[in-house]
Amino acid sequence: MMLSIEGLSCSYGTAAIIEDLHLEVNAGEVLSVLGRNGMGKTTMVSAIAGIRPPEVRRGSITFADRELTTMASFEVARLGIGLVPQGRHVFGSLTVVENLNVTARPPTSGAEPWTLERVFDFFPRLAERSTSFARNLSGGEQQMLAIGRALMTNPSLLLMDEPSEGLAPIVLGAIRDRLLEIKGRDLSILLVEQNLGLALSLADRIAIMGAHGQIVWTGTPDELRRDEEAKKNHLGV
Ligand SMILES: Nc1ncnc2c1ncn2[C@@H]1O[C@H](COP(=O)(O)OP(=O)(O)O)[C@@H](O)[C@H]1O
Ligand SMILES: [Mg+2]
């Protein structure tokens, strides 16, 4: 097992958001966590990535046998968790190349390393825009940059929070095809989404987060495709 969340409770001040969350990501798998707006998906991502707030009240998050809940975000990143945050958060006043180099790290495993060259092969659009300031990129280009920046840390777990947000279908399709190419191999992916289509096409397993950050449904993409009740009750689609 790659990542294990056990009995996690998180809050912002006195507002309890996640209560007693249990979730596991296995090595090499793509797990997608779906859920309506405001259920606590980003709160979970922040707790994993060591971003504060939220405060972790109870429970544990272990990754490669290390406890994450007491770590700072840079320590979590150093362990091999690459974050693609919701809203992309690229460094607007840095160029594409600078964004990619600023958090770059050599690989810790024997996996084929991500380098500037490999990221540019992976997203040729970024190569074309390499000297542009990130703030001048389109939303799709910024999302590619956010993914490229995370890959440059040579992660063993890629943590993506709503990469589909605000993207035109054609751009999203292109990004989905790239992610399909790298899934499996030496990379586990935790994909947080509201976009059912992206989750269905990428995930090996899907978990749906409901109120209080509880996992209310788990299964395979095929099982979710067929489960009209689950889609209606938990996702509103
Ligand atoms: N920094 C914050 N301070 C206080 N409340 C927050 C903060 N961030 C999120 N929340 C609240 O926590 C709940 C879960 O938010 P979030 O984790 O962003 O949900 P999701 O990602 O599933 O849409 C929401 O009610 C939201 O208003
Ligand atoms: Mg969110």
> 108 pLDDT exceeds 90?
no
| Strands of 205-209's sheet in order across | 81-84, 157-161, 188-193, 30-34, 205-209, 215-219
Q: How confident is the model at residue 210, as a pLDDT?
A: 97
pLDDT at 16 over 90: yes
Does the beta carbon of 49 lie inside 6 Å of ligand 1? no
Round to whole Å and give the CA distance between 62 and 69: 8
Residue 11 has pLDDT above 80, yes or no: yes
17 close to ligand 1 (CB < 6 Angstrom): yes
Ion ligand 2: protein residues whose beta carbon lies under 5 Å: 41-42, 86
With beta carbons less than 8 A apart as the criterion, state whether 42 and 192 touch.
Answer: yes
Asked if 69 and 48 count as a contact pair (C-beta separation under 8 A), the reply is no
Query: How high does pLDDT run on average in the chain?
Result: 96
Sign of CA dihedral 88, 6, 179, 197: negative
pLDDT above 90 for 1? no
Where do the domains of the chain lie? Answer: 3-89+158-235
User: What is the CA(40)–ligand 1 centre distance, in A?
Assistant: 6
| Ligand nearest to the CA of residue 35, numbered in listed order | 1
What does the pLDDT look like over 46-67, one tens digit per residue?
Answer: 999 999 999 999 999 999 999 9
Q: Does domain 3-89+158-235 have CATH number 3.40.50.11540?
A: no
Judged on CB neighbours under 10 Å (0-12, 13-18, 19+), 134 is buried
* Each residue's pLDDT tens digit, 138-191: 999 999 999 999 999 999 999 999 999 999 999 999 999 999 999 976 899 999
User: Residue 109 has what pLDDT?
Assistant: 72
Q: What angle do CA 197, 203, 151 make, to 5 degrees?
A: 105
β pairing state of 188-193 and 157-161: parallel
* Backbone φ and ψ of 205, nearest 5°: -145, 145
Closest ligand, as measured to the CA of 161 = 2
pLDDT digits (tens, 9 = 90+) for 56-98: 999 999 999 999 999 999 999 999 999 999 999 999 999 999 9
Has this prediction a pTM greater than 0.95? yes
38 torsion bin: left (phi>0), alpha (psi -120 to 50), beta (else): left
Cβ of 67 below 6 Å from ligand 1: no
The ligand 1 atom nearest the CA atom of 37: 23
195 lines ligand 1 (CB under 6 A): no
Which among 17, 21, 39 is the best mutation to test ligand 1's pocket, defined by most ligand atoms within 8 Å of the CB?
17
Residue nearest to ligand 1 atom 16, measured at CA:
40
- Using CA atoms, how far apart are residues 118 and 106, in angstroms rounded to an integer? 13
Q: What is the number of helices (H) and of strands (E) in the chain?
A: 10, 10
**Measured from the CB, is residue 40 less than 6 Å from ligand 1?**
yes
Tell me the CA–centroid distance for residue 213 and ligand 2, in Å. 12
Which ligand 1 atom sits nearest the alpha carbon of residue 18? 14
Tell me which ligand sits closest to the C-alpha of residue 38: 1
Q: Is 41 in the pocket of ligand 1 (CB under 6 A)?
A: yes
Which pLDDT does position 195 carry in this prediction?
Answer: 95
